[in-house]
Structures are given as structure tokens and as C-alpha cells.
């Protein structure tokens, strides 16, 4: 059965957006723990990191909610230094791409301090970074670098796909005593759904079976971040053709929830993994390797990876429309695994639908 | 706080209003301790049992001693690859240091780090790492915690002239000045980054302290081989930090005697001259301070011998312990990696 604990009657929920879920997690963390502080370029500004920090300055004051100099590497070091001396910082970057100048502090320092000093020095640090898609994000405002971070022992990496997970994973990340990278997809910010009240937590390292699981499914679709929603759409399209799919939202890239993936593939025998990143050397490859190494005998066909082609992201709408994979790509992959024909009409874009925005409410610039 | 250039703050002036006999002896003890520990490493390194790089600070003991003597309990320090002296001067655990260099289980980082990863949090030595420049912002983060909590601690970050060329150095000066952090930068300018001299790395005539001044940070420049002068400058700087005037910066002229990494001399390989080395060697911070103790306090040979004997015994004991200690269990587990 889909794992939707928060939808059970026992938990009271409200409808809110993904961005509001992130905001609420931070507000709760700031409220419950005086060592938590939030820092980022523009964190307290009127736009409030796309609404994810709005009002926090007014509520918690300028010491707890700080802007910062345009010095991502040093400020990551400052966050590390404060984390090892008793604080619990949340650092936000408006794009992953901007944080690349801070790879040294994230990879050599934050990830290593606990290990390299023999377990004496935890680094309770959360780094929020935003990933984009379409609308001119282009080569330097959109990179999905989860594989880079997940490659590094000592870091944890989460990628929420729903408003409830945005809240629950971010709160767990902040409360965790390790450096956690939270990669947030810009296209999810406006997504609204039921979100539990209070200090709702989603465990790090637990994937979620979003759809299916009744036993008749013939294919497993694993999604990361926004691609989990495309995977859900793909499952709907497949259902129309009489094919049942299980959809797993990975939620955490590291630690990787191996059991949930392996269990599903054991039932279905077929695997499609959809990543927001380049296919090659990506997180999808890790999921496929896991299954091939540990459940080879369960596979009825070779697994398929879906993701970005081997080019930097182009800016022009014309180029980017064909660049990003969508639900039809997952459907086609599943059909091929099942030896079924693929109707090219599948890829037709409905009248009035723009591929470079999640829906018509999403307008630039951003 | 006005920016003070204390280049002229010689020992005599400092003595007039400063160091009592106890402090003078303390400075000597700290320097001798660091020297003897590192000479022990020199003696034992050829056994090939210390299987990690070592960056010795022989010839550069005065900054560690003078700065540590200006701190009070609870204050903190961080450093980089050449950190033995900074660690030891904070009275950090000697047994843990030798065990760490020998890769043993009771090492201060349980054998995960080695010579370049010293730590003793109980003594305020928050850690050293060998990525040049990286501890500069981390130390600022520790000072930021002090600022947020108002705990009155001062944090010292030791760095080299090479580290002053990193991006985070400049970024951190800006942030520390912005937030008026209780952070003391101690730049040991030993003229080289590995084998590269200053003239291929930094503009001639621009002191490193000038960069700090441009960020609005109070600076002191002086003789890094004169422990009393260092103590004097550090005392003023620490006081300014503690009083909430913001960060302070010391640029101390000094010189590394031995090779960049390892126990030997390397004046023969051609990146610096024997004359230059001899000039600096004649400015030995220990010999100089010993003469001061003899002149001012009438210290006799017996007193020096007693001190050296005491320290040597302590060092020998630490080495023996480290050699006898067990290696860490040879498998790693996820608990090593995640809190
Ligand atoms: C980021 C980085 N680049 C290069 C090195 C290699 N390296 C180690 S020490 C050093 C020289 C540092 O010079 P300085 O800061 O003056 O310190 P000193 O060795 O003179 O004490 C270099 C280049 C390193 N450890 N880290
Ligand atoms: Mg140097």
C-alpha cells in the first residue's frame, strides 16, 4: 500500500504549498531550538527565497535570520565553524550553481570533520539549494548536482517532491547532527497539498512508495524530486493502457533506501529511474547498479535511466523544450520494457501547454 | 580601536610595562617545549613509523608561545598544516598528538587524521586541517558563535603568508569586520609557500597586514622571532577583540628552518640561499629569549637544564606511550562517518 502516513485521519493537516512547507519547517526549528539560525543571500529580503523564508526575520529577529556577504565559500566555513561550536545553522543558496564556489567547505570540511577527528565533532548543518528547469534557467542556473554531493561520505542528501515531504524532510535535516544537503526543485514551490501540522518529520533515508504496490504492478518507476511527479503522471497514462506501475519517490539520495527499491523490483521485475540530472554518472546509475548487483535474478529486462542529455542546459525555449524529459519518456520506457508498441502521439504537447513552466500560474522572471 | 603598527614594540619597551618573570619563563618554556617535541620528531621520523606528513615549525616557535600566553582559559585556536606549535602552546594533549602521528587508537583524532589534523577541544584547540586557508572561515564561525552567545571567548586563527592568497582569507576578513567578531588573525610570514618565495606570489611593498587594514581591521606588524614582542602585540590585540572592537590582525615576520614537509634541511635544493637561512638562524627565538632570561633574571644553566630535563622526560614518556599503544581497529563502520 502506498506509504501515506500523513494522510491518515489521526494527523490533522492543512493545504499548503511546497514553499510554505519549507517555511514552516524552518519556523518550527527556529522556534524550538535557540541554536538554530538561518543565513543566506537574500534570506531576509522582501522576496524571502521564493517565499520560503518570508516573515522569519520579523518573527525571529536579525540574529536568527541573517543576510550574508556574497562569499559562499567563506560563509559555508562560517556555518561549519558555528556548527562545531554549538549552533545549528541553516544555509540557503538560491541556486546550486552559486554554491559551487563553496564545494571546498562542503566536501573537504563539512563532510569530513566528524570522521577525520575520530567522531568528536558533529557538524549539524543544513544547506538548502535550489534546482531549476526551463524558463531560461540555462547553463548556470539549473544544475542538478545531487550525484556530486551523494558521492561524498559524510554528507546526506535529500530531495523532497511534495509539500509534506518538503516540511518533513527539511525539519529532519535541521535536527540531524550531520551536514545535510537539501535540494529543492523550483517547479515544486507552487505545488499545494495536505501538510501535517506541528513538528512533522520525515525520516532521512526513507523512500516513499507513492503509487501502486497492490501486487499486480509490472514496472517500478523511481523518481527523484520533480521527476517523481512526472513518474506519477506516467503511471496514470500507463494505467489507461491497462498497465500497473509502482512509483517510488526516492526522497533521500544518501542514505539510499535500498530495501524499498529492491522490494518493488522484486514484485515488478522492471525498473525505470527518472532523475532531474544528467543521465551519465548520475544518481539513477546508482539505483540501477543497486538493482543489478542485488536483484539481477528478479529482472525481466534491462533497467532504463531517464534524465538530461549530455549537454549543459540551453536557455532558449526551443532548445530546452526538447532537453527535459517528461512523463511520456517514462511511459515509452516502460512500454519498451514490456515489449509493447509506443505511439508517437504520446509525446504530443496539448494545446496551450508550455513545456518550460510547470503550469500557467508560473511566470517569469525567477 | 586605532590601527597600531607595533613594529617598534621591542622587548625593552614591552618589559617596562609588561611581562613579569613568571611570564618570561612561561614564554621560554612554551617555545622550548615546542622545539623539543619537534626535534624528537626529527630524531624519530627516519624510523618510518610516523607514517604521515609532518610540517615542522622549528624556528617559528615565538608566535605560538607569545599568542597562547596572551589568551585566557576558554579561548580558542585553530590552525592549518603547520600546527604542532599552536596545538602544544594551548597545552593540548601531548600523548594524543604523538599517538595521532603514530596512527594509534588513542590519537587525538583516533588515527583518522595524523599530524595535519590535531585537535583538543577541551583545551580550546578546535582543530587544524591541511587545506590551506580552510580553517580561516571556520574559525570565524567559532567566533561568530561567541558573538551570538556573548560568551566572551576570543578565537585565534593561525595562518601562513600563502594562506593570505586564498579567497576565503579575503572573504573572512570582510565578514569578521562586518560582524565585529572576536577573531584574532595571526599570520606567520615565513617568506615561503612551499618553495615559492613572496616575490612570485604577492606584490612587493604591500604588507599582508595591509589587506586586513583595507578591510577596516586593526593590525599589528612585528618581529615574529621575539616572543615578548609577540606577547605584547597579541595581548593588545586580544584585549581589543574581547572588548568588542572586532577582529585584529598580527603579521609576524619569521622563518622556517627545515624543509616545508619532513624532518630534513633543504637549503641545498636551490629555492633559498644558505646566507638567508643563516641570517634567520642567528635570530633563533629561543637563543634570544634565553639571553633575555639570563640578562634580566640572572637565570643560570642549572635552571635551563632542569626545565629541559623535565620537558624531555614528558616527551619521552609520550613517545613511549604512543609506540606501545594499539592501532585502531582496522575496519571502519558507518558510525565513523555519521553522528
Ligand atoms: C588549497 C591548498 N592548495 C595547496 C596546498 C599545498 N600546500 C600545502 S602547504 C602549502 C604552502 C602554504 O604556505 P603558507 O600558508 O605560507 O604556510 P607555511 O607552509 O609557510 O607555514 C601549500 C601550497 C594545500 N594544502 N591546500
Ligand atoms: Mg609561508
Q: Which domains does chain A have, with CATH numbers?
A: 12-196 (3.40.50.970), 208-339 (3.40.50.920)
Quick: pLDDT tens for B98-149: 999 999 999 999 999 999 999 999 999 999 999 999 999 999 999 999 999 9
pLDDT (tens digit, 0 to 9) for every residue of chain A, 366 residues total? 556 656 655 689 999 999 999 999 999 999 999 999 999 999 999 999 999 999 999 999 999 999 999 999 999 999 999 999 999 999 999 999 999 999 999 999 999 999 999 999 999 999 999 998 988 889 999 999 999 999 999 999 999 999 999 999 999 999 999 999 999 999 999 999 999 999 999 999 999 999 997 789 999 999 999 999 999 999 999 999 999 999 999 999 999 999 999 999 999 999 999 999 999 999 999 999 999 999 999 999 999 999 999 999 999 999 989 999 999 999 999 999 999 999 999 999 999 889 988 888 887 776
d(CA B279, CA B22): 30
pLDDT of residue A366: 61
Contacts (Cβ under 8 Å, ≥6 apart) of B214: none
Q: Whose CA is closest to A134, among A274, A325, A306?
A: A325
Q: A109: helix, coil or strand?
A: helix
pLDDT band at B4 (very low <50, low <70, confident <90, very high): very low
Residue with cell 559555508: A76
Tell how strand A36-40 and strand A13-17 pair up: unpaired
CA angle, residues A350, A351, A356, in degrees to nearest 5: 70
* The three cell numbers locating residue A55: 516573515
Work out the minimum CA distance from B323 to partner chain A, whole angstroms. 19
DSSP states of A115-158 as a string? HHTTT------EEEEEE--STT--TTS----HHHHHTSTT-EEE
> pTM here?
0.95
Residue spans per domain, chain B:
4-325
3-state SS track over chain B = CCCCCCCCCCHHHHHHHCCCHHHHHHHHHHHHHHHHHHHHHHHHHHHCCCCCCCCCCCCCHHHHHHHHCCCCCCCEEEECCCCHHHHHHCCCCHHHHHHHHCCCCCCCCCCCCCCCCCCEHHHCEEEECCCCCCHHHHHHHHHHHHHHHCCCCCEEEEEECCHHHCHHHHHHHHHHHHHCCCEEEEEEECCEECCEEHHHCCCCCCCHHHHHHHCCCEEEEEECCCHHHHHHHHHHHHHHHHCCCCCEEEEEECCCCCCCCCCCCCCCCCCCCHHHHHHHHCCCHHHHHHHHHHHHHCCCHHHHHHHHHHHHHHHHHHHHHHHHCCCCCCCCCHHHHCC
**Strands of A75-117, DSSP E:** 88-93
d(CA B39, CA B136): 28
Residue with cell 542514505: A255
pLDDT at B173 over 80: yes
B288: number of Cβ within 10 Å:
18
Is B141 in contact with A84 (Cβ distance < 8 A)? yes
**Which residue's CA is the nearest one to ligand 1's atom 3?**
B132
The chain B residues in contact with chain A (CB within 8 A) are 76, 107-113, 117, 119, 121, 126-127, 129, 131, 134-146, 148-149, 167-168, 171-172, 174-175, 178, 335-339
pLDDT of residue A8: 58
pLDDT of residue B16: 55
Q: Which residues of A are catalytic?
A: 72, 141
- Closest residue on chain A to B113 (Cα): A116
pLDDT at B1 over 80: no
pLDDT of residue A362: 80
Is B171 in contact with A71 (Cβ distance < 8 A)? yes
pLDDT of residue B112: 96
> Which one is the CATH code of B4-325: 3.40.950.10, 1.10.150.120, 3.40.50.970, 3.30.365.10?
3.40.50.970
Q: Of how many residues is chain A composed? A: 366
Q: CB contact, 8 Å: A79 with chain B?
A: yes
* The three cell numbers locating residue B53: 606528513
CA-CA distances (angstroms) from residue A246 to A1, A80, A208, A221, A292?
10, 40, 11, 6, 18
pLDDT of residue A136: 80
Mean pLDDT over the full length of chain B? 95
Work out the minimum CA distance from B133 to partner chain A, whole angstroms. 10
Residue with cell 517555511: A23
* The three cell numbers locating residue B327: 592501532
Tell me which ligand sits closest to the C-alpha of residue B168.
Answer: 1
Quick: pLDDT tens for B274-333: 999 999 999 999 999 999 999 999 999 999 999 999 999 999 999 999 999 999 999 999
pLDDT at B15 over 50: no
Q: CB contact, 8 Å: A118 with chain B?
A: yes
Between positions 19 and 78 of A, the ones with CB within 8 A of B are 37, 63, 68-69, 71, 73-78
pLDDT of residue A7: 60
From B194, B195, B266, mutation site for ligand 1 pocket: most ligand atoms within 8 A of C-beta: B194
Residue with cell 554549538: A86
3-state SS track over A256-324 = CCHHHHHHHHHHHCCEEEEEEEECCCCHHHHHHHHHHHHCHHHCCCCCEEEEECCCCCCCCHHHHHCCC
Amino acid at each position: 500500500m502506498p506509504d501515506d502516513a500523513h494522510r491518515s485521519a489521526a494527523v490533522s493537516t492543512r493545504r499548503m504549498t511546497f514553499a510554505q512547507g519549507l517555511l514552516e519547517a524552518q519556523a518550527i526549528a527556529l522556534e524550538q531550538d535557540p541554536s538554530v539560525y538561518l543565513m543566506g543571500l537574500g534570506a531576509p529580503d522582501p522576496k524571502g527565497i521564493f517565499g520560503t523564508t518570508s516573515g522569519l526575520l520579523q518573527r525571529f529577529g536579525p540574529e536568527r535570520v541573517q543576510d550574508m556577504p556574497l562569499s559562499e565559500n567563506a560563509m559555508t566555513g562560517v556555518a561549519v565553524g558555528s556548527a562545531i561550536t554549538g549552533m545549528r545553522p541553516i544555509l540557503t543558496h538560491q541556486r546550486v550553481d552559486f554554491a559551487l564556489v563553496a564545494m571546498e567547505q562542503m566536501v573537504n570540511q563539512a563532510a569530513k570533520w566528524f570522521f577525520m577527528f575520530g567522531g568528536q565533532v558533529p557538524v549539524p548543518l543544513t544547506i538548502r539549494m535550489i534546482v531549476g528547469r526551463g524558463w531560461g534557467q540555462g547553463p548556470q542556473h539549473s544544475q542538478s548536482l545531487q550525484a556530486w554531493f551523494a558521492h561524498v561520505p559524510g554528507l546526506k542528501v535529500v530531495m523532497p517532491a511534495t509539500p509534506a515531504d518538503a516540511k518533513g524532510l527539511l525539519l529532519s535535516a535541521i535536527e540531524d547532527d550531520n551536514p545535510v544537503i537539501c535540494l529543492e526543485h523550483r517547479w515544486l514551490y507552487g505545488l499545494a497539498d495536505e501538510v501535517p501540522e506541528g513538528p512533522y518529520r520525515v525520516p532521512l533515508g526513507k523512500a516513499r512508495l507513492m503509487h501502486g504496490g497492490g501486487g499486480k504492478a509490472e514496472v517500478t518507476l523511481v523518481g527523484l524530486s520533480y521527476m517523481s511527479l512526472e513518474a506519477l503522471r506516467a503511471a496514470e497514462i500507463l494505467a489507461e493502457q491497462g498497465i500497473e506501475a509502482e512509483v517510488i519517490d526516492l526522497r533521500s539520495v544518501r542514505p539510499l533506501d535500498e530495501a524499498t527499491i529492491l522490494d518493488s523490483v522484486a514484485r515488478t521485475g522492471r525498473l525505470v529511474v527518472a532523475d532531474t540530472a544528467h543521465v551519465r554518472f548520475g544518481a539513477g546509475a546508482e539505483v540501477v547498479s543497486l538493482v543489478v548487483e542485488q536483484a539481477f535474478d528478479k529482472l525481466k529486462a534491462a533497467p532504463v535511466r531517464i534524465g538530461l542529455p549530455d549537454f549543459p542546459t540551453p536557455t532558449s525555449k526551443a532548445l530546452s523544450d526538447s532537453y527535459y524529459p517528461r512523463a511520456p519518456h517514462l511511459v515509452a520506457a516502460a512500454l519498451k520494457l514490456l515489449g509493447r508498441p509506443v505511439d508517437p502521439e504520446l509525446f504530443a504537447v496539448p494545446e496551450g501547454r508550455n513545456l518550460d513552466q510547470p503550469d500557467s500560474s508560473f511566470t517569469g522572471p525567477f | 580601536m586605532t590601527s597600531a603598527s607595533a613594529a617598534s614594540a621591542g622587548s625593552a619597551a614591552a618589559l617596562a610595562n609588561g611581562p613579569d618573570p613568571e611570564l618570561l619563563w612561561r614564554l621560554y618554556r612554551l617555545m622550548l617545549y615546542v622545539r623539543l617535541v619537534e626535534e624528537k620528531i626529527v630524531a624519530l621520523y627516519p624510523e618510518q613509523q610516523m607514517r604521515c606528513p609532518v610540517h615542522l615549525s622549528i624556528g617559528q616557535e615565538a608566535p605560538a608561545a607569545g599568542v597562547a600566553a596572551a589568551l585566557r582559559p576558554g579561548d580558542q585556536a585553530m590552525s592549518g598544516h603547520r600546527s604542532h606549535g599552536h596545538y602544544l602552546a594551548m597545552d593540548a594533549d601531548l600523548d594524543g598528538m604523538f599517538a595521532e602521528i603514530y596512527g594509534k587508537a588513542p590519537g587525538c583524532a583516533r588515527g583518522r587524521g595524523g599530524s595535519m589534523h590535531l585537535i583538543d577541544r577541551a583545551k580550546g584547540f578546535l582543530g587544524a586541517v591541511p587545506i590551506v586557508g580552510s580553517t580561516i572561515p571556520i574559525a570565524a564561525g567559532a567566533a561568530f558563535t561567541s558573538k551570538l552567545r556573548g560568551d566572551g571567548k576570543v578565537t585565534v586563527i593561525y595562518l601562513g603568508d600563502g594562506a593570505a592568497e586564498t579567497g576565503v582569507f579575503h572573504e573572512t576578513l570582510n565578514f569578521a569586520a562586518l560582524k565585529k567578531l572576536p577573531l584574532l588573525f595571526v599570520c606567520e610570514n615565513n617568506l615561503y609557500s612551499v618553495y615559492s618565495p613572496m616575490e612570485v606570489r604577492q606584490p612587493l611593498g604591500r604588507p599582508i597586514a595591509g589587506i586586513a587594514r583595507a578591510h577596516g581591521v586593526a593590525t599589528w606588524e612585528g618581529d615574529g622571532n621575539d616572543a615578548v614582542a609577540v606577547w605584547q602585540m597579541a595581548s593588545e590585540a586580544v584585549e581589543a577583540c574581547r572588548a568588542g572592537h572586532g577582529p585584529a590582525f598580527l603579521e609576524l615576520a619569521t622563518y622556517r628552518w627545515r624543509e616545508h614537509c619532513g624532518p630534513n634541511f633543504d637549503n641545498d635544493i636551490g629555492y633559498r640561499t644558505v646566507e638567508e637561512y643563516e641570517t634567520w638562524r642567528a635570530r633563533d627565538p629561543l637563543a634570544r629569549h634565553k639571553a633575555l632570561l639570563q640578562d634580566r633574571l640572572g637565570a643560570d644553566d642549572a635552571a635551563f637544564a632542569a626545565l629541559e630535563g623535565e620537558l624531555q622526560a614528558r616527551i619521552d614518556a609520550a613517545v613511549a606511550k604512543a609506540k606501545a599503544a594499539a592501532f585502531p581497529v582496522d575496519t571502519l563502520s558507518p558510525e565513523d562517518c555519521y553522528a
